[in-house]
Chains A and B, each alone.
Chain A
């Protein structure tokens, strides 16, 4: 019996090599090849509200974008700063309640409450998280997990901000098209803005803090300061999502601090591809609709949901986007050894 050993080898496509450092494009086809994934995402997101059947699925698209903002925030903090935050719900809650109070008590329209709640919420979140910034790894994760739980209980126990009933009578958006295109453009802007940011010099410092904070200190830079800047950016995205959410639901309550807003974005990041920024958006585009479809199964929904997640972690732990990018940028072939 003749046994010939073979192994699979991966080679970068020429176009990838040429566009990596020197950017030498040869034709319109190559330009299209590079632009296709980006355009597919942008156009796809913009078309989505138009092709959705009925208002129910259009609402799902809005929720996808809310979670996508949270997932981007998680991915940015975890994979570019090394701050694994389990407290995404804290950002949504703070942003949501601020927007709700500004709208109902001060009578500000959504066009003002959303930007104001984003910035003010980010300031509050950064200040409150400041004492935890020297913590690293699992310790930071545990502490951030406590924040949304604590804030929800404080609101419940002191009966402030409407207590367990929440704040009702919040203005909605002018119409559903404004609502959807606002959140969609927010996701796209944040996504491409972050991709730009992490390659700036400031972004390099962020990545250096993750790699090796001792060397950053030895370079004469305060690690805590840069962590605070990054937490401000990350929490601003979370607060933005919360502020949009209360105007979508026209209601703000303790459920804004619910664990869903912390955990689902992390699951989406795992499925989409950690550290890719676009991956978490992709993950949300898959996970949120799947979770809606599973509503048909009633209480078994969580079981199926968990099974899908487990399958991804076991079989595609690198994430969809990393897998897809490899297929797109490299070709594989079998060679005899």
Chain B
């Protein structure tokens, strides 16, 4: 018998009032791959992330992590198992300096368990570890940046801080909710090698993105969502060639024509 995939979602559905956010989506994620999830606005991408990480409870269906159902667990239990996420709207602790932001995830049970002698225990040296992680993620160690208040940091660094919070937990899966959006071209260019390095370290990545060019370069597989349902799944080349995807993004030809004549 083969090992179960690292993450499997089965018939996940969620409705808010009468709105169907997820209409029975099923997919699998293999260990070490980068899965891209794309779709027009309101297609249920962020709801899917919220459901996997326990912030929103599924109406029906299940989420399996290495074969174990996690869909009824609270968010902190799921993060404790190694499934971490970034938030689309960044959620740093604004009143703390950047490096002290990381002391909080480093204090979590998972980080204390996995951190070894340096980060572990009640009195571990979390400040040094947090500066190390920040350097790894692109905060220059010798500059003032890691010591600045999170409220004064520009978007690019806040996005990195979101990733750093995930890394502090030594995660198995990182679900990135639009880490590239709001960044300049050069900032994105410097983030791409970072994501590649994370994959090389054996971390499974699920990336929700609107920046298709960079995503198609990174991801091995793409899933397209539309109106809470899976439109298609395949390699980046297949997705780019698909007429259905173009339709979902730009509307069908007929509609376009009607719009121009109206």
Residues of chain A touching chain B, judged by Cβ–Cβ distance below 8 Å, are 21, 201-202, 204-205, 207-208, 211-212, 214-223
- Quick check: B108 and A207 within 8 Å, CB to CB? no
User: Distance in Å from the Cβ of B96 to the closest Cβ of chain A?
Assistant: 7
Interface size counted on chain B using CB atoms at 8 A: 31
Contacts of B168 in A (CB 8 A): 219
Q: Give Cα distance in the complex from A208 to B165, angstroms.
A: 13
Enumerate 24 A-B pairs (CB-CB under 8 Å) in ascending A order: A201-B103, A201-B107, A204-B96, A204-B100, A204-B104, A205-B107, A211-B96, A214-B87, A214-B91, A215-B87, A216-B104, A217-B75, A218-B84, A218-B87, A219-B76, A219-B79, A220-B79, A220-B84, A220-B108, A220-B109, A220-B110, A221-B107, A221-B109, A222-B76
19 more A-B residue pairs beyond the given contacts A211-B95, A217-B79, with a C-beta to C-beta distance below 8 A? A21-B147, A204-B96, A205-B104, A207-B95, A211-B93, A211-B96, A214-B55, A215-B91, A215-B93, A217-B76, A218-B87, A219-B76, A219-B105, A219-B169, A220-B76, A220-B79, A220-B84, A220-B105, A222-B76
Least Cβ–Cβ distance between A45 and chain B, in angstroms: 30
Q: How far is the CB of B33 from chain A (nearest CB, A)?
A: 22
Q: Report chain A residues within 8 Å CB of B147.
A: 21
Let me know if A204 and B53 touch, CB within 8 A: no
Residues of chain A contacted by B103 (CB below 8 angstroms): 201, 204
Q: Which of A204, A205, A222, A223 has the most CB of B within 10 A?
A: A204
Complex Cα distance, B169 from A215, in Å, reads: 13
Q: Determine the distance from Cα of A166 to Cα of B75 in the docked complex, in whole angstroms.
A: 47
For A205, list chain B residues within 8 Å (CB).
104, 107
B109→A219 contact, CB < 8 A? no
Q: Which of B46-76 contact A (CB under 8 A)?
A: 53, 55, 74-76
| B80 cross-chain contacts in A, Cβ below 8 A | 220
Which A residues lie within 8 Å of B76 (CB)?
216-217, 219-223
Q: Is B27 an interface residue (CB 8 A)?
A: no
> How far is B100's CA from A207's CA once the two chains are assembled, in angstroms?
11
Q: Across the interface, name the chain A residue whose C-beta is closest to B166.
A: A218
In the bound complex, residues from chain B placing their C-beta under 8 Å from that of A216 are 76, 104
Residues of B within 8 A of A211 (CB): 93-96
Smallest CB–CB gap between A18 and chain B, Å? 16
Name the A residues within 8 Å of B126 (CB-CB): 201
- Asked if B85 CB lies within 8 Å of chain A CBs, one says yes
